[in-house]
Structure 1
């Protein structure tokens, strides 16, 4: 009897913890998306140039690892906004480039709508079915190295269709991360909402940019 009561109490505590992490994650995700959008808008208005690739890589990975190190303190929140703000800053010049195209506004709106649809669809699927997506960890790890290799190859070789393949790969990769991260929260694999937030934010960023590139490439081929 006592063991049964303990199991019930443990399950209730676990469910409250899951609900708390989900609530904090989606709350912080919403705030970082709003902040990043504001920074992107300001960088568009200021017409800033896209940073050097090394600045982008150092800025992103430096802030990412700093956030991971500070994830258990209040400074982790500050680092989270610094990271997402920096990514918004890099997004501004990209959006300006597409707005310079004849149908750029339509492409951006379509990519944004598709990103929202994919994110809410995948999240709702995991939250309603509560399926364990931990099996995707191997695919995500392999996909990361494949995409890195493909990106390096694109710098040195002009292979027809490679950029489109990379963008399509990032769409699949980002979708897998959204499934995996959401599942990790509800199954107890992720208890830090800051890390969950930046994982989902980066996935949304990559998903949006990749869909935008696919739409842009398809449009230019018409």
Structure 2
């Protein structure tokens, strides 16, 4: 199940013009970028460790209701404490929980013929996509803030479509949703990175969560597509 938090803008008092970063915002942007990528690296490693532990211990899948409840509940906690010292523990709780939900999916995929290769392909494609898109935005400083409403609407449609595929047992719909989410996740990486670069996001905790969830969604979507639905739960 692909999930995406509702974007919450944290604009500075006087945001820069589209596609430009005012000189007075450059130090702040550099600080947010540095802290975001540092925290993102740590959360990805932590999430991967939790997922690997789940695979080794063969932990059961949490189920749809627990997954949705845990995700949105922890996401609420992150936003509630985004400006306090509890923000970092909340982020690790959220990413650790998402790693836990990923463990059974990876275990199932690894048990299929060629499953290890599928996981490696999805992981490599996710990493290459994230690095390429991030590098492009950092180099060009393009502003993709105009995409926010479209991307949010697309993710809502994808979430409803994914629920429909689960309840009505339609594998073809599930694959179509995975393809849609993969494209939306790539676009969200552009959107979220451009917001940081252009001074539209000054809270590195929220920036980290946004990028992490986009990467998570991209990986699980590619896993389903490369596995021809084998990892579609």
Q: TM-score w.r.t. structure 2 length?
A: 0.87
Residue pairs, 1:1-222, within 5 angstroms: 11-159=22-170, 161-217=172-228
* Cα distance per residue 1:6-56 (max 9 Å; x no partner): xxxx94431000000000000000000111111111111110011121111
Work out the CA distance in 2 between the residues paired with 1:59 and 1:131.
Answer: 35
Bigger shift: residues 179-188 or 140-149: 140-149
Query: Structure 1 unaligned runs (5+)?
Result: 1-9
Q: Work out which of the two has the higher radius of gyration on C-alpha atoms and give 1 or 2.
A: 1
Structure 1 consecutive aligned stretches of length 4 or more whose deviation exceeds 4 Å: none
- SS of 2:113 mapped into structure 1: coil
Work out the CA distance in 2 between the residues paired with 1:160 and 1:80.
Answer: 33
Work out the CA distance in 2 between the residues paired with 1:47 and 1:71.
Answer: 33
Q: TM-score w.r.t. structure 1 length?
A: 0.91
Query: Structure 2 unaligned runs (5+)?
Result: 1-20
Contact 2:224 2:230 (8 Å CA) reproduced: no
Structure ranking higher on relative contact order (CA contacts 8 Å, 6+ apart): 2
Distance 1:30 1:214, change over 3 A: same
Q: How many residues align?
A: 211
- SS of 1:174 mapped into structure 2: helix
> How much has 1:155 moved relative to structure 2?
3.3
Bigger shift: residues 102-111 or 159-168: 159-168
What is the Cα-based RMSD across aligned positions, in Å? 1.7
Which structure dedicates a bigger proportion of its chain to helix? Answer: 1
* Cα distance per residue 1:164-196 (max 9 Å; x no partner): 110001101111111110000011110000000
